[in-house]
Homo-oligomer: A and B are copies of this chain.
Amino acid sequence: MQSYYLGVDLGGTKILAAVATPEGQILARAKRKTFPRTRAATFPPQALAQRIAQTVEDALDKAAVPRTQVRAVGVGAPGPTDIRTGHVLYAVNLPGWDAGFDLGPTLQELLHLPVFVDNDVNVGLLGEATFGAARPYRDVVGLFVGTGLGGAIILDGKLRRGFRWSAGEVGHTFLYRPGKKPKDVERVASRGAMSKKLAKAVRQGKSPILAEILAQRPDDRITSGVIRRALAAGDPITQKVVARAQKTLAVWIASIANFLDPEAFILGGGLVESLGESFLQPIREQALALLFIEYRKDDLAILPAGLGDDAGVLGGVALALERSSQEPA
């Protein structure tokens, strides 16, 4: 009898669910806003768990797969998570979750299926390692350039979750020179930080090119797509801001390569998807030039993630696969 797995990607704005085979072939998807309109600030975690369960049920209905053939559900949650219990320790983007929430047990009761929960960035890298670009590697650091800068670590084929379930906080490693205040890497190298800097340049009238691109949009959000268009149009301020982020990521990658000596780095997130190789190539060159070892420099892979928008749900499937093979359902 064919087994199926359910992957869930719980974000601050939307819930995605998918039914897939153990090989990562997606049969059906479902989607819901995380919060009903205007109620985000006061929405209780228990009610959010019900919305997640409904989204899972929608995906199951669309896939027309009987529940008895679903082995397990894997969920990526936007906060550090004790994977043994499914307890999310906190989630800054979900109101009311400051004191933590028993997401795993609650969903398990609602769905009558084994549910495994982990941090969303861990889940994303697990997806890449199981079905995506990180598949050939047993040793990989994932970097996700988005509103923030997320990270996850797989060593010897196993996610490094951390002694306090908190490993991978790349964004909160520091840029530092003696005499200066330490600054979070995220404050330079995330798409969010770049957008903020560029928005300021627009306000100050320093980037007519960006201002023109924004004038053609319904809102003034500086998305990854806007950054791509500004680069294509040769905007010098965007070039400078992106180059600063690239150099910072390159120095970070070289530092971690010298310290942890992993096989590969996988870079993902909206900005990497949007800019592609033109973003990655300068990072690769600058990082390799800073490697300490004098041999086997060339086999350090610095690659783009492969799963795009499906990374979260396929990561959930990978988590369900990983955990259900380890623990009795």
Q: Chain A residues in contact with chain B, CB under 8 A?
A: 80, 89-90, 139, 151, 153, 155, 160-170, 172-180, 182-183, 188, 244, 247-248, 251, 254-256, 258-263, 290, 292-296, 299
Contacts and interface: CB of A to CB of B under 8 A. Distances in A.
Kindly list the 10 A-B residue pairs having the minimum CB-CB distance in the complex, ordered from nearest. A162-B261, A173-B255, A172-B292, A167-B261, A169-B258, A172-B258, A163-B263, A166-B261, A176-B251, A177-B177
B254 A256 contact: no
A105 to B, nearest CB: 20
Contacts of A296: 164
Copies in the complex: 2
A155 B168 CA distance: 14
Contact of A182 (B162, B290, B299): B290
Given A90-B294, A155-B160, A176 B177 contact: yes
Residue picked from A163, A254, A262, most chain B C-beta under 10 Å: A163
Contacts of A177: 175-177, 180, 183
10 contacts: A90-B295, A155-B155, A164-B261, A164-B299, A167-B261, A168-B261, A169-B293, A174-B254, A175-B176, A176-B251
